[in-house]
Amino acid sequence: FKKAGFVSLTTFQKMIRGELNEEEYFLEFESEWKTIGEIVPKRRTYVHNTVDRLGGETDIYNASLWGSIQHTGLYFFLKILNPEYEIVLRSLWPFFEHVGLGGDASIGRGFFQITEEEVDDFGTQGDAKRFITLSLYSPTQDEVNVFSQNKDSTWYQLELRKGRVGGKLYVTNHFLKQPVVMFQEGSSFPIVDGKSNFGCLQLVKNVETVPHKVYQYGYAFPIYSLL
């Protein structure tokens, strides 16, 4: 069950409240997936060709594209801990609406509209035994030590994050960021006593030609679970 990539909101809420265990979910999985399977993102492969304008040779390659059906969206939770950053975040949203995300923006892909909805607080640790992260998570060394001692209560998948510094108009010879191995969204871990925040910032670029240090955000967005 740790590899079930998508569940309904109702199922997720039942599981973190301890009202539904893995065995019970297994019995409901087939009927639930008939609905969820119709709306989850799907990978499609397209054939492209390249042309050497000097020699005239051509070549064919495949490219993948993730997409979903109409009237669905990409949803994320945002908790603002420092009010000073709220104005910065709100200035980014219309910018990304205008320029889009991902490739092929010139042919209309990657554009979207942002809507906001207030949600209830996700609560505190209380009697929780573990947490599920809704964001990519880069643990501190003391957190890794706790997870290593509780392997039977640790469920995760890894993801390698890497990328470039700056945008299309930023010119530098040192544009590659240091790769970081992180826990994927949906990974689950035991509670670390005495901590309410999990994760850290990872330094991924620090050279003289870049005007400031660049960090990879690695703090977990924890949802506490009684299971």
pLDDT digit of tens for each residue in the chain (227 aa)? Answer: 456 667 777 777 787 777 877 777 776 666 666 666 555 666 777 787 888 888 888 888 887 776 665 666 677 777 777 888 888 888 888 888 888 777 677 777 777 888 887 776 565 667 778 888 989 999 999 999 999 999 888 989 899 998 887 766 566 677 788 999 999 998 999 988 878 889 999 999 887 777 788 899 999 988 888 76
Residue 18 lies in a domain: yes
CA 153/CA 148 separation, integer angstroms: 10
Give yes or no: residues 114 and 134 share one domain: no
Please report the pLDDT score of residue 158 as a whole number.
Answer: 92
Sequential DSSP letters for 38-95:
TTS-EEEEEEEEEE-TTT--EEEEEEEEEE--TT---------S-GGGHHHHHHHHHH
Give yes or no: residues 203 and 161 share one domain: yes
* Host domain of residue 169: 130-225
Residue 207 lies in a domain: yes
The number of distinct structural domains making up the chain is: 3
Residue 103 lies in a domain: yes
Give yes or no: residues 157 and 137 share one domain: yes
CA 102/CA 173 separation, integer angstroms: 23
Give yes or no: residues 66 and 83 share one domain: no
**Which three-class secondary structure string do you get for 80-113?**
CCCHHHHHHHHHHHHHHHHHCCCCCHHHCCCCCC
CA 36/CA 29 separation, integer angstroms: 10
Residue 123 lies in a domain: no
Please report the pLDDT score of residue 1 as a whole number.
Answer: 45
Give yes or no: residues 27 and 101 share one domain: no
Please report the pLDDT score of residue 143 as a whole number.
Answer: 94
Give yes or no: residues 190 and 146 share one domain: yes
Give yes or no: residues 167 and 182 share one domain: yes
Please report the pLDDT score of residue 29 as a whole number.
Answer: 67
CA 96/CA 92 separation, integer angstroms: 6
Residue 64 lies in a domain: yes
Residue 125 lies in a domain: no
The strands making up 188-190's β-sheet, listed across from edge to edge, are 188-190, 130-133, 222-225
- Given 57, 87, 118, which residue is the final one in a domain? 118
Please report the pLDDT score of residue 92 as a whole number.
Answer: 86
The single residue listed with the structure tokens 């390698």 is: 160
Give yes or no: residues 64 and 90 share one domain: no
Give yes or no: residues 50 and 23 share one domain: yes
Residue 124 lies in a domain: no
Residue 105 lies in a domain: yes
Whether 131 and 191 have beta carbons less than 8 Å apart is answered as yes
Please report the pLDDT score of residue 149 as a whole number.
Answer: 92
Give yes or no: residues 4 and 21 share one domain: yes
197 to 14, 66, 139, 203: CA distances (angstroms):
24, 32, 10, 19
Give yes or no: residues 36 and 106 share one domain: no
Distance between the two ends of the chain, CA-based, in angstroms? 14
Give yes or no: residues 67 and 85 share one domain: no
